[in-house]
Structure 1
Amino acid sequence: MPAAPTKPRPLDPSHVSAVEEYGGRIVSLDPIGAQVSGIDLASETAPPRAVLDALEHEMAHRGFLVFKNDTQISAEDFLRASCWWGGRELHSTHGVHPATPGGNRDIFRLSNDRRHGIPDVGPQWHNDGSFLPATFSHSGYHIIRPAERGGGTHFAHQGLAFEALPEDRQERWSRLSSVNSASGVVHPLVHTHPVSGQKCIWLHLGMTGAVIEKLPDRDGFSLLCANELKQLCHEYNDVLNAGLETGYAVAYEYEENDCVFIDNLAVAHRAAPEAHMPVEQQGLRIMHRSTVKGVQPLAPDFGLPLHVNIDGPNPIGEGVWQGGGVGFRWEEGIPMRN
């Protein structure tokens, strides 16, 4: 599907200098993301704001940062570092697994063994907190135990994916807004990133109950019908998958003690299929996730409200209008737990 290969911009030299002057180092990863070393996540003293701003800007442009740690950091260290970004405080809406250290409600503990964490989470491309008007600004992933035979996370840069779309698709998708199937929150399918200024696509493939289209030639709106919504979800899935081949997505495999922080407005993610395979096949995998309070609502355009009653009557006309925790099933048989 991509019109042309797209790549993130190189690291900003001024940001590299700011990190190096503090004693750290940042280098680009291929094809997206960046790796940070020399900054101690276990320190109770955060780096200066100028350093954090430099890192946050690079996260916005490259999608995510990987912090390499020589030893395992504590859950408290991980959560404290999560608050370096975006809204700068945790916003936790998930359940707490019994194996979570200290029963900490800010840790979402994931595993391919239900005795050690919550299984089967995030199989389709999505962004965390899409049920909120102000979606999480950032998310963190702390690998507690990487599976011996692989099982990482796929990350796709949504600004570069927008650039890869044909012009007619860019125009139409910019008139679409998705409705979250669990909450009725409305988000634009295309938004302008508040830091990078890039236009980014946005659609939760496991929790969408409707898509509203602004009519192109007159006032008013329509709903996508089932066939149109299936086509949209397939095209969205295809363009993000294409990034794995053309350079704006990556299948990231965690190494022991890795901490990954993502800009949740810049990259979509999904668990690699191997991450959900049984322990007997892949080995035990355990990960802690954090989520950071949003800075501002991801508000729709065209005067649409931030919230509609997805469980009530369809207010627009014919088309898909489906409430419930799991969204519209755009392909039979696919796992959709998120």
Structure 2
Amino acid sequence: MKIFSFLSTRMAKYYTLTPIQLGCEIRSVDLKTEARPEAIEQIKKDVAVHRLLVFRDQGIVSGQRHVEISRWFGELESTFFKHPKSPHPDVFRVSNDRNEGCTGVGRTGWHIDGSFQPAPFAYSLYHMVSIPQKGDTVFAPLNEIVESLPSAKRKEWERLWMMSDRRSGPIHPLIYPHPVTGKMTMCFHLGMTSNYIWDYGTSHERAATEEEFDRITKDIHYEFVKDGGKIQYSHKWEEGDFIISDNLAVGHEATPETQLPRDEVGLRVLHRTTIKGTVPPAR
């Protein structure tokens, strides 16, 4: 599914955008040195439009520089376990080797990052510093999923709110307008939801039954995998890749291969930062 197939390679003032299945690829920027205010503003605008920017050929971006790039988009929010080998306190380090990073990350189902926060993370920035032979990260566009829902299912989802599995966590609408673009998107985490609430805040409010919870979770999962998963963009990491994602517009999941043993596929080390959300999801 070529989500941006109507675009062609575009020469911008500061770099070249080449459409990929979801988002755009950029090869003519060196993130390690980029400091032009106009170029940074253009990158921020293009993330809003394209949702996923894949910067190729970046070499190894240091933890400090990863954080500096992240600050273009706002205040960092680092809520995760600090692995001893993380290059910076605000960089979340994940791996297929527990001695090198946190393992099992992203394997609990399709999700956005930070659904347990009052305002989920606005952006996620990823950099693969050690690339295994296998281990894609898979992304999917949330607006297209919402807009393609059958009428009855969309009406049902518009009544649903998700409750985080964190104690005293927030309750968010499953479907809501993106705070920047206004396009309909989703707040969800198929592995970190304690329940769904019907008609939250109304006189008809009630918690989903266990059977309803299982069905709703399966229904959401189905929308990502139906038709052979053609809505998905499976990113095959290359040396030097750095990805900036609009976390509120793009769902993602780590593939099972990301946890294959190091002696089978080589060492996988991914660095990630997350940017604090400023607008809680609302109808």
Q: Are 1:176 and 2:189 matched, yes or no?
A: no
Per the TM alignment, residue 297 of structure 1 is displaced from its structure 2 partner at its CA by 1.4
> Could you list the per-position Cα deviations for residues 45-67 of structure 1 after superposition, in whole angstroms to 9, with x for gaps in the alignment?
2441xx44443344334331101
Query: What is the TM-score when the length of structure 1 is the normalising length?
Result: 0.77
Q: Are 1:26 and 2:17 matched, yes or no?
A: yes
Aligned partner of 1:67: which letter?
F
Per the TM alignment, residue 186 of structure 1 is displaced from its structure 2 partner at its CA by 0.9
Find the partner of 1:42 among 17, 29, 32: 32
Structure 1 unpaired stretches of 5+:
302-338
**Secondary structure of the equivalent of 2:239?**
coil
> Could you list the per-position Cα deviations for residues 165-223 of structure 1 after superposition, in whole angstroms to 9, with x for gaps in the alignment?
101111110111001011421111001112332211331111101111118xx832121
CA contact under 8 A between 1:210 and 1:223: conserved in structure 2? yes
Inter-CA distance 243–268: structure 2 relative to 1 (3 Å threshold): farther
Q: Are 1:277 and 2:260 matched, yes or no?
A: yes
Inter-CA distance 52–45: structure 2 relative to 1 (3 Å threshold): closer
Per the TM alignment, residue 260 of structure 1 is displaced from its structure 2 partner at its CA by 0.7
Query: Within 2, Cα distance between the matches of 1:9 and 1:179?
Result: 36
Query: Within 1, Cα distance between the matches of 2:235 and 2:94?
Result: 17
Q: CA RMSD in A?
A: 2.2
Per the TM alignment, residue 90 of structure 1 is displaced from its structure 2 partner at its CA by 1.1
CA contact under 8 A between 1:158 and 1:202: conserved in structure 2? no
Equivalence map 1:321-336=2 (5 Å) = none
Q: Percent identity?
A: 32
Equivalence map 1:243-262=2 (5 Å) = 245-246=229-230, 248-262=231-245
| Higher CA-based Rg | 1
**Secondary structure of the equivalent of 1:21?**
coil
Inter-CA distance 240–56: structure 2 relative to 1 (3 Å threshold): farther
Find the partner of 1:293 among 260, 276, 282: 276
Per the TM alignment, residue 77 of structure 1 is displaced from its structure 2 partner at its CA by 1.6
Find the partner of 2:130 among 140, 145, 148: 145
Equivalence map 1:220-235=2 (5 Å) = 220-235=204-219
Aligned partner of 1:298: which letter?
P
Query: Within 1, Cα distance between the matches of 2:193 and 2:42?
Result: 34
Residue matched to 1:90: 76
Aligned partner of 2:78: which letter?
S
Per the TM alignment, residue 261 of structure 1 is displaced from its structure 2 partner at its CA by 1.0
Aligned partner of 2:144: which letter?
L
Deviates more, 1:185-194 or 1:69-78: 69-78
Query: Within 1, Cα distance between the matches of 2:106 and 2:96?
Result: 12
Equivalence map 1:113-262=2 (5 Å) = 113-123=97-107, 124-148=109-133, 150-183=134-167, 184-214=169-199, 219-242=203-226, 245-246=229-230, 248-262=231-245
Find the partner of 2:44 among 56, 77, 81: 56
Structure 2 unpaired stretches of 5+:
none
Equivalence map 1:102-121=2 (5 Å) = 104-121=88-105
Query: Within 2, Cα distance between the matches of 1:195 and 1:7?
Result: 20
CA contact under 8 A between 2:57 and 2:241: conserved in structure 1? yes
Inter-CA distance 131–74: structure 2 relative to 1 (3 Å threshold): same
> Could you list the per-position Cα deviations for residues 11-54 of structure 1 after superposition, in whole angstroms to 9, with x for gaps in the alignment?
599xx56xx212x111110x212111222211262441xx4444
CA contact under 8 A between 1:141 and 1:259: conserved in structure 2? yes
**Secondary structure of the equivalent of 2:76?**
coil
CA contact under 8 A between 1:119 and 1:276: conserved in structure 2? yes
CA contact under 8 A between 1:57 and 1:195: conserved in structure 2? no
Query: Within 2, Cα distance between the matches of 1:135 and 1:67?
Result: 24
CA contact under 8 A between 1:6 and 1:163: conserved in structure 2? no
Residue matched to 1:325: none
Residue matched to 1:318: none
> Could you list the per-position Cα deviations for residues 49-99 of structure 1 after superposition, in whole angstroms to 9, with x for gaps in the alignment?
xx44443344334331101125222222222112222xx121111111111
Query: What is the TM-score when the length of structure 2 is the normalising length?
Result: 0.91
Query: Within 1, Cα distance between the matches of 2:120 and 2:40?
Result: 21
> Could you list the per-position Cα deviations for residues 93-112 of structure 1 after superposition, in whole angstroms to 9, with x for gaps in the alignment?
111111122xx210100000
Find the partner of 2:66 among 59, 78, 83: 78
Per the TM alignment, residue 119 of structure 1 is displaced from its structure 2 partner at its CA by 0.4
